Amino acid sequence: MHLYHHRSRAIGAAALLAALCGLSSALQAAGPKAYVGNFKDNTVSVLDIGAGTVLATVPVSAGPDGTVVVPGGGPVFVSGASASTLSVIDSASDTVAQTVEVGKGPQGLALTPDGQTLLVAVNGDDRMAWLSVASRQVLGSVAVGKPHTIAVHPDGTRAYVSSQQPGHFALVEIDLRTKVVTATLPLDKAPRDLEFSADGKALYVTLAGVAAVQEWDPAQNRMVAQIATGPSPHLAHHFAGMAFGVVVVQGPGEVQLFDPASHQALRSIAVGQQPHWMDRGVDSNQLLVSNEGSNSVSIVDLASGQSRTVAVGNAPRKIAVQHPAGQVGAVPVAIADFNFAPVETLAVVGQTVTWTNRDGAPHGLAFQDGAAGSDLLLPGQSFSRKFDGPGSFDYVCSVHPYMTGKVVVGAR
């Protein structure tokens, strides 16, 4: 909580300065940032995407691997695959604010759609752990053999983990509500990465030694198609707002575009050597690709096929772009068994909380601050409220006033 206080003061001071000096347009011109882990330097390069420059080089835990940027100016989590810790970078100052012990050799990281929970593939300890983004406390873990990367379904209900357990390669499905393994889908080769399409209908999987991307149907837990690529595809995705899917192909050093419906390759764009990872840039035509073999990042315009190259540190692997807060999903609260679950909900400024009546009886919502609630929420119905400022917001069920709850909204 300390950190959040600190950050809100810093933002307040910057806004005041901008208002006094008429600098607001200059401040707005500062573009979004991207964070790239340099695996052999034990640093993260912070890029200004618009300017194509390196803003800062931040020392982090050894073997920077999984990287997650919490949208809207939240913290950046970087796993130290050669250590047992995560580095937490404050994205306002681009310095390490905290180092969190998570267990041996943490690799892939993933954020739940509500922005509240970070999932960690603790490879050396054979488990997937989860921690609170707000408190940075490890809350629990579930056994998974040699977990490598993690993909969360866009509806937030489940995660898939690539398991590189020798002799037992698999995709492991975990129910995120109960944190129980619900399926283990065997693979004949070691899985490399897995990503959900933005609509949640496809799970794209890459395997060691297979020159194709496998498309799995998460509704049926089976492989439904293969997309042929050049040698060594690493990461395939269909990002929100893009008309096509994209694959980083390490062998030829390119990004391949494909048609998600027909699974046919469309065209390829050359990037650097041994490209490792990618993220969607500031619009649906921009892609950022880390080039492990040429110590650079390519900022690719998918429409024209043109790209700019930015030099970074030694062996850049994971790259993640800082996206706006609007892309943080709503925080769900269930009304069940005449209780609000959770009773206390954490949110950030600008975030929406959605209550859904999962009981057999009608309930309602009355906020103590007088904001509009709902007199009657029938079973199955939902109510949403967006929180535009920080604070603590108490509420009760308007039908059963003994049912109480609270939303705590923190600054970003």
Contact positions vs Cu ion (CB under 5 A): 363, 397, 399-400, 403
Least distance to Cu ion, CB of residue 342, Å: 16
Q: Which residue's CB is nearer to Cu ion, number 280 or number 363?
A: 363
Give whichever of 261 and 372 is closer to Cu ion, judged by the CB atom.
Answer: 372
Q: Is 337 exposed, middle or buried (0-12, 13-18, 19+ CB in 10 A)?
A: exposed
Q: How near is the Cβ of 368 to Cu ion at its closest, in Å?
A: 16
CB of 116 to Cu ion, least distance (A): 24
Least distance from Cu ion to the Cβ atom of residue 341, Å? 13
When the beta carbons of 266 and 361 are compared against Cu ion, the nearer one is 361
Please tell me whether the peptide bond between 342 and the residue prior to it is cis, using omega within 30 degrees of 0.
yes
Smallest separation (angstroms) from Cu ion to the CB of 393: 18
Sequence-distant (6+) residues with CB within 8 A of 246 are 236, 237, 238, 239, 255, 256, 257, 258, 278, 287, 302
Least Cβ distance, residue 407 to Cu ion (angstroms) = 17
Residues 6+ apart with CB under 8 A from 195: 151, 203, 204, 235, 236, 237
The residue behind tokens 């707005």 is 28
User: Smaller CB distance to Cu ion: residue 201 or 400?
Assistant: 400
Q: Residue 185 CB: number of other CB atoms within 10 A?
A: 18
SS3 state at 21: helix
Q: To which residue do tokens 């100052």 refer?
A: 93
Q: Nearer to Cu ion by C-beta: 155 or 394?
A: 394
Query: Is-contact 172 186, C-beta < 8 A?
Result: no
Rounded to the nearest whole angstrom, what is the least distance from the CB of residue 376 to Cu ion in the complex?
A: 10
Reported in sequence order, the residue ranges of 180-306 that DSSP labels E, i.e. its strands, are 180-186, 191-196, 203-207, 212-217, 222-228, 233-237, 245-249, 254-258, 265-270, 275-280, 286-291, 296-301
Q: CA 148 from chain center: how many Å?
A: 15
Outline where 122-267 has alpha helix (H): none
Q: 173, 179, 174: which is closest to 205 by C-alpha?
A: 173
B/e letters for 369-390, b = 16+ CB within 10 Å, e = fewer, are: eeeebbeebeeeeebebebeeb
- For residue 390, CA distances in Å to 3, 8, 236, 411 come to 14, 10, 38, 6
Minimum CB separation of residue 334 from Cu ion in Å reads 12
Task: Name the one residue in this structure whose structure tokens are 């997309």.
Answer: 227
| Closer by beta carbon to Cu ion, 318 or else 363 | 363
Q: Pick between residue 17 and residue 361 the one whose CB is nearest to Cu ion.
A: 361
Structure tokens at 285: 């035509």
Shortest separation between residue 367's beta carbon and Cu ion, angstroms: 14
Smallest distance from Cu ion to CB 347, Å = 21
